[in-house]
Amino acid sequence: MRNLRTRHVLSALALFALFAGLTLQAAHPVGAQPKGTIKIASQSPLSGGQAALGEGIKLGAQLAVEKMKGNLEKMGYKVEFVPFDDQAKPDVGVANAKNIIADKDIMAVIGHLNSGVAIPSSEVYKEVGVVMISPANTNPVVTDRGYPNVDRVCGRDDVQGKVGAEFAHGTMKIKSAYIVHDKTQYGQSIAEFFKADSEAKGVKVLGFEGTEEKSNFDSILTPIKAKNPDVIYFGGIYDQGAPFFKQAREKGIKSKFMGPDGMDSSDLTKIAGKAVVGMNYTSAAGPASALPKAKAFVDEYKKKFGKNPEPYAAEAYDAATIAIKAIEETAKKGKVAREDVATAVRKAKLSGITGDIAFNANGDRLKAQYFVLTVESDDPAKWGDNKIVKQLTIAPPEPKK
């Protein structure tokens, strides 16, 4: 009985606190005041199997916000960085997006990692016109919808697939390929681009297979072993690709391995070890060593967070820098409104650590860089030393009207 009463008192207290909080917030609508709070959000997987890359995006953006917020603070604004965890799941990303648009102080979103999450989430951002600058979403659909509030500082999968196929055919001299993908919007579409471009060059595609399996690849690998392709291409992310490649080697498959930028994380070698040494992968985000002004960024990142930046951390840094500069520009004209920030971002020009950034009419980066890299060592700490075997700067395809 006593227990019950305590519980009643507790819930009454909780309710009271909730209402008190609500009324307080209603009494001070911070965003509406001339000098209020400006928030910049990030959305990326901070938990789960892809957290290594997702955390890199968060920390890169956080570093930029902390470094660049000075000007806005001088103008009298309070600047905050709010990270969200989308768990690499579309439903979680969309739920977070709804919270983001409900918080009127959030002026820009840096994210996501997964195109399959970014696409539905950006439908939500579009409702209120809050800008999303993506450091990592390479799927063509992200910008092909022509939304005024969606931009990206990385490359596109249709180009990346072509770069991969050209390298496989031209440099690796492969005659046959077996393609496996993870059935996500990102993985399947890059695999399809790779397939189409390889076939166009006369490479024989021996199989094209999708799987959501995460641990047991035995039964997929058996036919691959029998067909013995020159190269196995995995369109997906490292947390699935790594055990796949590891089990392939353990099964005695001798084919070469290849993958897209989803493989670009030190966790690939952490999981797969020696199996992936010598593997080639394409990327729309080069290692920090290849970036012109990255050394200072790498040092600062290491000093602050005690680890090497993962791929896309530098892209997230640039994306957040663009966001802050755009907000500054709108703030100078008086009121900071979401649509105006989005317009300013589209017009932005930045000489960032990943090179010169400007956007075309659809929000694609005008000059995006593409890399082909080779895994050099099975030590995850040396992921940043992976050798660049090819580096290209390619403009996105003309936006369709």
Partner 1 sequence: MDLELLLGIFPQVLIDGITLGFMYALIALGYTMVYGVLEFINFAHSEIFIVGAFVGVELLLGMKASGWLDALPWVVVLLLILAAGMAVSGVLAVIVERTAYRPLRHAPRLIPLISAIGVSFFLQDLIRLVESLWRNSFNLVYPTMDALNTRFELSSTIDVSMKSLVVILAALLMLWGLYSLVNKTKIGKAIRAVAEDQPAASLMGINVNRIISLTFLIGGAMGGGAGVLFGVQYSLINPYTGFIPGLKAFTAAVLGGIGNIPGAMLGGLVLGLLESFAASYLSLLTGGAFGAEYKDIFAFSILILILIFRPKGLLGEVVRERA
Binding site for partner 1 (CB under 8 A): 47-49, 51, 183, 207-216, 218-220, 222-223, 225-227, 239, 242-243, 246-247, 250-252, 267, 270-271, 273
d(Cα 157, Cα 182) in Å, to the nearest integer? 15
Q: Which is nearer to partner 1, 208 or 390 (CB)?
A: 208
Query: Cβ–Cβ contacts within 10 Å for residue 101, how many?
Result: 18
Which residues share a beta bridge with 370?
392
Q: Which is nearer to partner 1, 39 or 249 (CB)?
A: 249
Q: Which is nearer to partner 1, 52 or 65 (CB)?
A: 52
CB of 227 to partner 1, least distance (A): 7
Identify whether the C-beta of residue 172 lies closer than 8 Å to the C-beta of residue 205: no
CB of 56 to partner 1, least distance (A): 14
Q: Which is nearer to partner 1, 188 or 362 (CB)?
A: 188
Q: Which is nearer to partner 1, 239 or 318 (CB)?
A: 239
Q: Which is nearer to partner 1, 51 or 288 (CB)?
A: 51
> Helix, strand, or coil here: 18?
helix
CB of 385 to partner 1, least distance (A): 21
Q: Which is nearer to partner 1, 64 or 313 (CB)?
A: 313
With residue 142 as reference, give the H or E element that holds it.
helix 141-144
Q: Which is nearer to partner 1, 88 or 101 (CB)?
A: 88
CB of 175 to partner 1, least distance (A): 18
CB of 219 to partner 1, least distance (A): 3
With residue 37 as reference, give the H or E element that holds it.
strand 37-44
The residue to which tokens 């249709």 are assigned: 158
Phi then psi for residue 99, to 5 deg, are -65, -35
CB of 213 to partner 1, least distance (A): 8
SS3 letters for 194-252? HHHHHHHCCCEEEEEEECCCCCCCHHHHHHHHHHCCCEEEEECCHHHHHHHHHHHHHCC
Pairing of strands 37-44, 106-111: parallel
Sheet containing 368-374: order of strands? 204-210, 176-181, 231-235, 256-259, 280-283, 368-374, 387-394
CB of 50 to partner 1, least distance (A): 9
Question: Residue 220's closest CA among 183, 185, 269, 184?
Answer: 183
d(Cα 378, Cα 380) in Å, to the nearest integer? 6
Gyration radius from the chain CA atoms: 23
Q: Which is nearer to partner 1, 84 or 217 (CB)?
A: 217
Angle, helices 51-68/313-332, rounded to nearest 10 degrees: 40
d(Cα 390, Cα 168) in Å, to the nearest integer? 12
Cis-peptide, bond into residue 112, ω within 30° of zero: yes
DSSP character for 61? Answer: H
DSSP character for 330? Answer: H
Q: Which is nearer to partner 1, 124 or 275 (CB)?
A: 275
